[in-house]
Structure 1
Amino acid sequence: MISALIVLVLAACPVDTLAVRGFKKGDIRHVSRVSNGEPIVFSYIHSVSKTPIEETLEVSNGKIRLVKVSYTDQGGAGMPEFEWGSEKFKIEGGKFVLEGFQREFKSMNITVQRAYDDRLEIGDEAIELIQIAREGENIRVSVERTMLAAYLFEEIASGLKANI
C-alpha cells in the first residue's frame, strides 16, 4: 500500500523536458529530461555559406534562451559580425563567436534538411534530426513541463518509433 502510494506520488511529480514534436500534428518525436540552466547545442550547416554553425541554447524557466552562436565563415550570408547591446563578439579557436544574448523563445521551429546536418546535443545525448523527421519536414522544439509518468511514457513511445 505504502509503496503504491509512493509510486503514485513520484509519477505525479512535474519534470521539465525538451520535446521535439512534428509541427503539423504535434506528435512526439523525441523527449529528453532537462533542468533550468542546462545547455543545449543546435548545430547545422548554413544554407548559403555551407559552413557549420553552432547555437548554444539553455533552458530558462520553461523557455529556450539563445546564449551563444559560433561559426567559421561570415561569407556575406547575414551572419552577425558586430556587438549589439549586451552581446560580445570575439574570435576563439578560429571561429567567430557572438555571446551575451538576451533572447528567449517559447519554441524553435526547424525545417529538417539532410544536407544541413541538423543536430541537437543535450549533455552526452546527440539527436540527428533527420533520424526523427522526414526531409523538408517542420518540427517544433520546446521546453515542456510534464508529469514524470507522462515523460517516461513519451520517452518509451518515441524510442519505439522506427526511423522515419
Structure 2
Amino acid sequence: MMILAFTFTASLFQSDEEQVRLIFEEARTGEVLLEAEANRGDRLTFSWIHSVEKTPWNETYEIQEDNRLLLKSTSFASYGAGVPHQKGEMKIENGLITYDNIDEHFNSLSWIHSHEAKHEMNLNNEIILSVNDLPHHEAIRLTVEKR
C-alpha cells in the first residue's frame, strides 16, 4: 500500500473534524492500494481519455460533510450515451462542453483503471493519482473516510 501525504497551506488551519482520507481500493477484494489526505470542501478532479473518441473527460467533485462526493461539473469534447445532459448549466469553453452545478451525490466512485485511458486525479489542482499509481485493468473504488 502506498500512502500519499500532501500539505496545503489551507489544510494547516483545518480542524480534525474536517480532515478525511481518500481510500483507493481494489473493488473486488477491498485491498487498500493507495491513500491520500484531504479536507471536507476540497475539490477532486478525475480525468481520463475516452476509450473510443480519444478525447479528454473531466469530472470535478467536492468532498462533503457526510463523506460523500458531490459531482459539481463534468467536461467532455462531444456527446454520447450516458452523458449527463439533463442536469446543470451547459457552456462551451476551450473546445469542451462543460456542465456546472450538477450537484449529484455519490457514496463512492468506481472505475476500471486503465493506463491507456491515462486516468489521473487532482486534489485542489495538485496531482494525487497518476496513471501508473494503480494496476492496469483493475476494478478500483474510491471512498472518503473520516481521518
What's 2:61 paired with? 57
Mapping of 1:1-164 within 5 angstroms?
A: 15-61=19-65, 62-74=67-79, 77-78=80-81, 80=83, 82-84=85-87, 87-123=88-124, 124-133=126-135, 135-146=136-147
Structure 1 contact 17–32 (Cα < 8 Å) conserved: yes
Structure 2 segments unaligned to the other structure (5+ residues)? 1-15
Distance 2:140 2:132 in 1: 11
Give the match's secondary structure for 1:68. strand
TM-score by length of 2: 0.78
CA RMSD of aligned residues (A): 1.9
Determine which structure has the larger strand proportion and give its number.
2
* Higher CA-based Rg: 1
Amino acid at match of 2:53: S
The number of aligned residues is: 129
TM-score by length of 1: 0.71
CA positional deviation for 1:143: 0.5
CA-to-partner distance for each residue in 1:38-75, whole Å, 9 max, x for gaps?
A: 0011001112222110111110120111110011233x
Determine which structure has the larger helix proportion and give its number.
1
Structure 1 segments unaligned to the other structure (5+ residues)? 1-12, 147-164
Distance 1:119 1:67, change over 3 A: same
